[in-house]
Amino acid sequence: MPAPKNIIPRLSLVQNKKTKIWSVSYTNPKNGLTYRRSTGTRIKVEAQQAAHALAAELTGLKPSSANYKIGELLAAYRASKDVVATTDDLAIKKLTEYFGAFRPEQLGQGAWKAYRRWRTAQPRTHAAAKHSPGTISDSTAVRELNVFRAAIRWAQSSPHWTGIAHVRVEIKDAPQTARTQFLTKEDARRLVDGCVEPHQRLFVLIALATAARHQAILDLRWDRVTWPQGTPEPAYGDREFNTVPVSEAIPGVKWGEIAKDMRIVDFTKSTMKGPIHLDLGADVGRKKKPIAVIHPSNARLYQALRDAYKARTTDYVIEYKKAGVGSKIERVDLSDAYRRAGLKRPKAPQHILKHTAISWMMQEGREVAKIAALTRTSIATIEKVYGHLAPKHFIETIGNLLTID
């Protein structure tokens, strides 16, 4: 028979107007009665930690025999890392705020649920909040608990941290994330066509061709773009393009006399020579940045880069004229582009393009090691997140190799 689930009461902090001491008010779900317990402190952060510890105590967990608090463990874990990503730093800060006063034996399945509930009630405070206000997503809370899991496993490998061996950070009903989403090639074409601003279109084309992250593309400068044959200024001229009458390029349309002499570039027969290299910068922590090679066969992006260079007013490849000449933009908003394309706006409208690029490579049967090298993503991540997209014949081949007659 499965163990009964812990009942976690709803808690709230109340401050005495006269003494300024915080108390925890909670309703016992078993009898419906409301209780109040003093925290003995006038500092709200300490009162919050006491409230979190009380929540764990009320689930029926026994007091810990370990002589340390989880906040100390998290601080030691943070100090043990040479490089910590910004997102992990924020996760450790929030985990310490919630679990800092906990003892090891107060951790259990009820604690993970309570953390997710507490975190998703907090407002978004980072830069994207002004574009998309609201509360912290459950995906963020789950990612932070994954950081906690790593810290717990680190502590379990050391004899210094006693009383922690029983702890397992188990996340049930984790939400679907952008990692499980990607665009089809038809969706991507519609999205590019839905980008009315040149900077939007160029951003999407680069993201789909390089699998680079949003910020890495925004940080890309023209001095890190290497043109064919080392020429900093791309040469323009009719000799580099094959042109055809517009009536041949787009048949089935009555163009009339006005378009009789109009010609457009036939990108399917482009004679442009040599690839363009994009150096997306140095790695930052776990954020790896590739050096991408754009071949002339990717004619739409190849030409978009040349056009952007010719019209540049800043040192950055992605620029938005309406933001002011010479200024760097901080974010590419694609909401309107998705709407014009008739596509539902994904949870991560920019980052989904990275997952789309890798998903396409997996579907085409590219070697995992090559995909990892091209996109600067670990082989373990490629296999874990995108492995299910491998072609059926690839999976069958593996199955045949591993079959024992």
CA count, 13 A, side-chain hemisphere, 384: 6
Q: What is the pLDDT of residue 99?
A: 92
The answer as to whether 21 is a domain residue is: yes
Instruction: Output phi, psi for 279, to 5 deg.
Output: -95, 105
The answer as to whether 32 is a domain residue is: yes
Q: For residues 123 and 132, give the distance between their C-alpha atoms in angstroms, rounded to a whole number.
A: 11
The answer as to whether 269 is a domain residue is: no
Q: What is the pLDDT of residue 362?
A: 86
Residue spans of the chain under pLDDT 70? 1-10, 29, 52, 55-66, 82-86, 126-133, 174-180, 229-273, 282-290, 321-329, 392-405
Residue 15 token pair: 């401050």
Question: Which residues constitute the domain of residue 23?
Answer: 11-175
Q: For residues 384 and 145, give the distance between their C-alpha atoms in angstroms, rounded to a whole number.
A: 19
Residues 26/144/357/296 CA torsion (nearest 10 deg)? 130
**What is the amino acid identity at position 24?**
V
The answer as to whether 54 is a domain residue is: yes
Give the total number of structural domains in the chain: 1
Q: For residues 27 and 12, give the distance between their C-alpha atoms in angstroms, rounded to a whole number.
A: 10
Q: What is the pLDDT of residue 270?
A: 46
The answer as to whether 152 is a domain residue is: yes
Q: What is the pLDDT of residue 238?
A: 37
Q: Taking CA 204 as the corner, what is the angle to CA 202 and CA 210, rounded to the nearest 5 degrees?
A: 95
Q: For residues 71 and 94, give the distance between their C-alpha atoms in angstroms, rounded to a whole number.
A: 11
The bridge status of strand 243-245 relative to strand 22-27 is unpaired
Q: What one-character DSSP code corresponds to residue 222?
A: G
Q: What is the pLDDT of residue 61?
A: 47
The answer as to whether 342 is a domain residue is: no
Q: What is the pLDDT of residue 62?
A: 47
Measured distance between the N- and C-terminal CA atoms of the chain, rounded to whole angstroms: 40
pTM: predicted TM-score of the whole model, two decimal places: 0.52
The answer as to whether 211 is a domain residue is: no
Q: What is the pLDDT of residue 398?
A: 43
The answer as to whether 95 is a domain residue is: yes
Query: Counting Cβ atoms within 10 Å, is residue 285 exposed (0-12), middle (13-18) or buried (19+)?
Result: middle
pLDDT in tens, 138-188: 888 888 998 898 889 888 887 778 888 888 888 777 665 555 678 888 998
344 to 187, 339, 360: CA distances (angstroms): 10, 7, 20
Burial state string for 215-236 with b = 16 or more CB within 10 A and e = fewer than 16 = bbbbbbeeeebbbeeeeeebee
Work out whether the CA dihedral 74, 77, 79, 83 comes out positive or negative.
negative
Q: What is the pLDDT of residue 232?
A: 47
Query: Counting Cβ atoms within 10 Å, is residue 147 exposed (0-12), middle (13-18) or buried (19+)?
Result: buried
Q: What is the pLDDT of residue 203?
A: 92
Q: For residues 134 and 140, give the distance between their C-alpha atoms in angstroms, rounded to a whole number.
A: 13
Q: For residues 357 and 375, give the distance between their C-alpha atoms in angstroms, rounded to a whole number.
A: 9
pLDDT in tens, 352-386: 888 888 888 888 888 888 888 888 777 777 777 77
